């Protein structure tokens, strides 16, 4: 039985400008013990999908189950299996850290949870903050407490929605070490959404990519990476590119990036540039990464092309 099963999930918002289809028949399963990445550009529908999974919003159509429990009709059982780390900092200012975690355990009917609470506190770098009042904690420390709260009932499925957005490097490392440990040691299933594609590449064994509410890729991370051209040629220039080169390029300001299978492809591009009188600077060849695949599949790099350069390039 899958840990999480999304079955033809659609969500339509009625807006003043008509219906907005935030999710269109999204279907995929996450198997127990997987470290799964859900990626997509802004507005793709990731948060909507996770809100429905967590019981915070209702699907217009379709259903989601967690270890076989429907998140709508069997909410309590589904919720018991889920640990959802929210994006926003919401906390109760009246308690200290340990109290907050004990109260959260109580919500799930768990008593005598201090051994696990101690493990969470030390694993998340909060051991010396156990008696600190929530009000006194810095933003980064509050975020750690939120993560601990989400895990206090030892959920079998951990859901992390942009957990490292605006978070310092130290917390990112602590969080990944701890969550990877739970994934390996306890076999916890992890569903992660992130904008940091290098994190997804390093952590996730399988990835779904959403674009405008639809699944555009669902593959192992290694299969996704294999889709990319082996290498990327990167250089800077102020000169307009010939149209055939511009058509394949990802252009951000002065920086041009082009897929290049091998050394011959690199030579071909450089000779085309020479013929066209383009002077490339700071030339480098790097291995393609998940970001290249992501931009190819979601097309979210197109807006980065300055109008003037794109216009010149098409002449
Ligand atoms: N309550 C709402 N009412 C109307 N439209 C909404 C509502 N919530 C989300 N949307 C729209 O649904 C679409 C999907 O939004 P969602 O927040 O799920 O995307 P996302 O992939 O999480 O984006 P981001 O990476 O920016 O968080 C967007 O077009 C968004 O504007």
- For the chain, what are the domain ranges? 4-225, 228-314
Whole-structure pTM value:
0.82
Contact 20, 43 (CB under 8 A): no
230: left (phi over 0), alpha (psi -120 to 50) or beta: alpha
Nearest CA to ligand 1 atom 5: 13
Nearest CA to ligand 1 atom 28: 43
Is 149 close to ligand 1, i.e. is its CB under 6 Å away? Answer: no
Q: Report in angstroms the alpha-carbon separations of 179 from 92, 124, 144, 238.
A: 24, 10, 12, 45
H or E stretch covering 217 = strand 214-220
Contact 256, 237 (CB under 8 A): yes
Residues near 312 by beta carbon (within 8 Å), at least 6 away in sequence? 240
Q: 282 is written with which tokens? A: 């700071």
* CA dist., res. 256 & res. 248, Å (int): 10
β-strands 35-39, 61-66 pairing: unpaired
The yes/no answer to whether this complex scores an ipTM above 0.85 is: yes
Query: CA nearest 130: which of 101, 94, 109?
Result: 101
Contact 10, 60 (CB under 8 A): yes
* CA dist., res. 69 & res. 56, Å (int): 16
What is the CATH code for 4-225?
3.40.50.300
* CA dist., res. 142 & res. 87, Å (int): 12
Q: From first to last of its 315 residues, what are the pLDDT tens digits of the chain?
A: 999 999 999 999 999 999 999 999 999 999 999 999 999 988 899 999 999 999 999 999 999 999 999 999 999 999 999 999 877 767 777 889 999 999 999 989 998 899 999 999 999 999 999 999 988 888 888 889 999 999 999 999 999 988 777 778 888 888 899 999 999 999 999 999 987 888 898 999 999 999 999 999 999 998 888 877 678 899 999 988 988 888 888 888 899 998 888 888 899 999 999 999 998 999 999 888 888 888 878 776 433 333 333 333 333
SS3 category, 165 = coil
- Looking at residue 263, what is its pLDDT? 86
* CA dist., res. 143 & res. 89, Å (int): 7
Is 53 close to ligand 1, i.e. is its CB under 6 Å away? Answer: no
Is 45 close to ligand 1, i.e. is its CB under 6 Å away? Answer: yes
SS3 category, 64 = strand
* CA dist., res. 308 & res. 315, Å (int): 11
Is 20 close to ligand 1, i.e. is its CB under 6 Å away? Answer: yes
Contact 35, 204 (CB under 8 A): yes
Nearest CA to ligand 1 atom 26: 42
Is 43 close to ligand 1, i.e. is its CB under 6 Å away? Answer: yes
* CA dist., res. 230 & res. 242, Å (int): 23
Q: What are phi and psi of 246, to 5 degrees?
A: -60, -35
Is 209 close to ligand 1, i.e. is its CB under 6 Å away? Answer: no
H or E stretch covering 309 = helix 307-314
State the greatest distance between any 2 C-alpha atoms of the chain, in Å, as a whole number.
Answer: 75
DSSP code, position 124: T
The strands making up 250-252's β-sheet, listed across from edge to edge, are 250-252, 255-260, 231-236, 281-287
SS3 category, 301 = coil
Query: CA nearest 214: which of 33, 29, 79, 43?
Result: 43
- Looking at residue 32, what is its pLDDT? 97
């Amino acid at each position: 039985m899958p840990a999480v099963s999304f079955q033809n999930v659609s969500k339509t918002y009625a807006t003043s400008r008509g219906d907005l289809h935030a999710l269109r028949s999204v279907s995929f399963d996450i198997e127990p013990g997987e470290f799964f990445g859900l990626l997509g550009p802004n507005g793709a529908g990731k948060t909507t999908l996770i809100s429905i999974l967590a019981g915070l919003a209702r699907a217009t159509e379709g259903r989601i189950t967690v270890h076989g429990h429907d998140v709508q009709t069997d909410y309590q059982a589904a919720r018991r299996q889920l640990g959802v780390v929210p994006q926003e900092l919401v906390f109760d200012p009246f308690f200290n850290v340990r109290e907050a975690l004990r109260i959260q355990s109580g919500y799930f009917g768990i008593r005598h949870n201090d051994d696990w609470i101690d493990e969470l506190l030390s694993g998340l770098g909060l051991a010396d903050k156990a008696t600190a009042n929530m009000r006194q904690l810095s933003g980064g420390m509050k975020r750690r407490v939120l993560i601990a709260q989400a895990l206090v009932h030892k959920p079998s499925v951990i859901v992390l929605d942009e957990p490292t957005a605006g978070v310092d490097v130290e917390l990112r490392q602590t969080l990944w070490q701890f969550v990877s440990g739970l994934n390996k040691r306890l076999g916890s299933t992890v569903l992660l959404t992130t904008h940091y594609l290098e994190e997804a590449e390093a952590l996730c064994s399988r990835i779904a990519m959403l674009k405008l509410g639809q699944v555009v890729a669902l593959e192992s991370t290694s299969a996704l990476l294999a889709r990319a051209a082996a290498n990327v040629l990167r250089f800077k220039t102020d000169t307009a590119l010939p149209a055939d080169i511009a058509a394949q390029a990802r252009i951000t300001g002065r920086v041009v990036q082009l897929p290049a299978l091998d050394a011959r492809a690199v030579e071909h591009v450089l000779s085309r540039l020479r013929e066209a009188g383009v002077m490339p600077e700071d030339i480098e060849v790097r291995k393609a990464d998940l970001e290249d695949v992501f931009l190819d599949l979601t097309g979210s790099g197109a807006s980065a092309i300055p109008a003037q350069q794109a216009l010149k390039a098409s002449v």
